[in-house]
């Protein structure tokens, strides 16, 4: 199930016939909340066709301040690579926080590294709004937040050799065996990440699930990554998840990878 918030002036009748839609009006800014099942077509087809029918996708306007809306990244196209120099108005190393949550880690990292650019990827609207607000309050011009799925962003939106560092911190572990197919770190996801990373680019992963950690580790060498012994984890900001795990004495498993081929 995929959730969108779009600008007003769109009716259910204007949606492509392939989509099953349940349209519910909400009481702010005359916005419309679309709940759309995309199982019948591929993810790429879904974003491609849907963006032909709506003027604004994943917009924060009407829900957050104008400054926060500037932080949120709304691409001209959801099926073409991002124009990163235009987005940030400069050329700088890019770090991507996959599943940035409320933006705490993302904004802490960006504040420490003003000469680098940062994009947070997050699926949930409330978390996107929070991350946008945090970056706007700190006046961080090197942060953008994009509401979309991690796997789609990595595969379709980041140009080849464009990302210096990917951060994937505490992704949904889907601990039940029958749900393991829903885990984001697949062989395809790692290949797409490898393509997007610059030469010797890094991928930093953390999870509290040992079996997930071992599964990721088994897949990385085949995807063209080498494992680094330790890569400045102690100097990185602490995420909300990590704080919770530490308070419960839950082990955290970390993996630092470098693109080698």
> Average per-residue pLDDT in the chain?
78
Catalytic residue flag (residue 117): no
Portion of the chain with pLDDT greater than 70, in percent: 72
* Environment class of 33 (CB within 10 Å of its CB; exposed 0-12, middle 13-18, buried 19+): middle
What are the backbone angles phi and psi of residue 247, rounded to the nearest 5°? -65, -25
What's the mean pLDDT in 25-50? 41
Helix ranges (DSSP H) in the chain = 43-50, 66-71, 84-88, 104-112, 125-137, 150-152, 187-196, 210-220, 240-247
Q: For residues 62 and 42, what is the distance between their CA atoms, to the nearest angstrom? A: 31
- Of residues 58 and 249, the one with the higher pLDDT is 249
Q: What local confidence, expressed as pLDDT, does residue 67 receive?
A: 60
- Of residues 65 and 252, the one with the higher pLDDT is 252
Q: What local confidence, expressed as pLDDT, does residue 44 receive?
A: 55
Q: What local confidence, expressed as pLDDT, does residue 51 receive?
A: 46
Q: What local confidence, expressed as pLDDT, does residue 231 receive?
A: 62
Q: What local confidence, expressed as pLDDT, does residue 243 receive?
A: 79
Catalytic entry in 108, 117, 161, 172: 172
What's the mean pLDDT in 71-79? 88
Q: What local confidence, expressed as pLDDT, does residue 213 receive?
A: 93
DSSP string for residues in 213-260: HHHHHHHHGGGTEEEES--SGGGSPPPHHHHHHHHTT---EEEEEEE-
pTM, 2 dp: 0.75
């Amino acid at each position: 199930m995929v959730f969108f918030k779009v600008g007003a002036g769109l009716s259910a009748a204007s949606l492509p016939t392939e989509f099953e839609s349940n349209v519910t009006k909400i009481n702010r800014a005359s916005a419309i909340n679309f709940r759309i099942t995309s199982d019948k077509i591929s993810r790429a087809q879904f974003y491609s066709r849907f963006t032909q029918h709506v003027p604004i996708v994943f917009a924060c306007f009407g829900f957050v301040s104008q400054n926060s809306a500037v932080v949120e990244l709304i691409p001209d196209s959801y099926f073409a690579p991002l124009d990163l120099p235009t987005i940030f108005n400069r050329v700088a190393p890019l770090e991507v926080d996959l599943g940035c949550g409320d933006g705490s880690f993302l904004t802490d990292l960006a504040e420490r590294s003003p000469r680098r650019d940062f994009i947070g990827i997050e699926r949930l609207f409330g978390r996107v709004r929070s991350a946008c607000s945090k970056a706007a309050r700190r006046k961080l011009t090197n942060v953008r937040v994009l509401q979309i799925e991690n796997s789609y962003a990595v595969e379709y939106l980041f140009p080849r050799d464009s990302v210096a560092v990917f951060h994937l911190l505490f992704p949904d572990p889907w601990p039940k065996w029958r749900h393991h197919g829903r885990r984001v770190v697949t062989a395809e996801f790692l290949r797409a990440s490898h393509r997007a990373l610059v030469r010797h680019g890094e991928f930093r992963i953390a999870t509290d699930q040992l079996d997930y950690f071992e599964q990721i580790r088994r897949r990385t060498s085949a995807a063209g990554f080498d494992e680094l012994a330790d890569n400045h984890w102690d100097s990185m900001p602490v995420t909300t998840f990590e704080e919770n795990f530490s308070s419960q004495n839950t082990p955290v498993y970390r993996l630092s990878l470098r693109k080698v081929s």
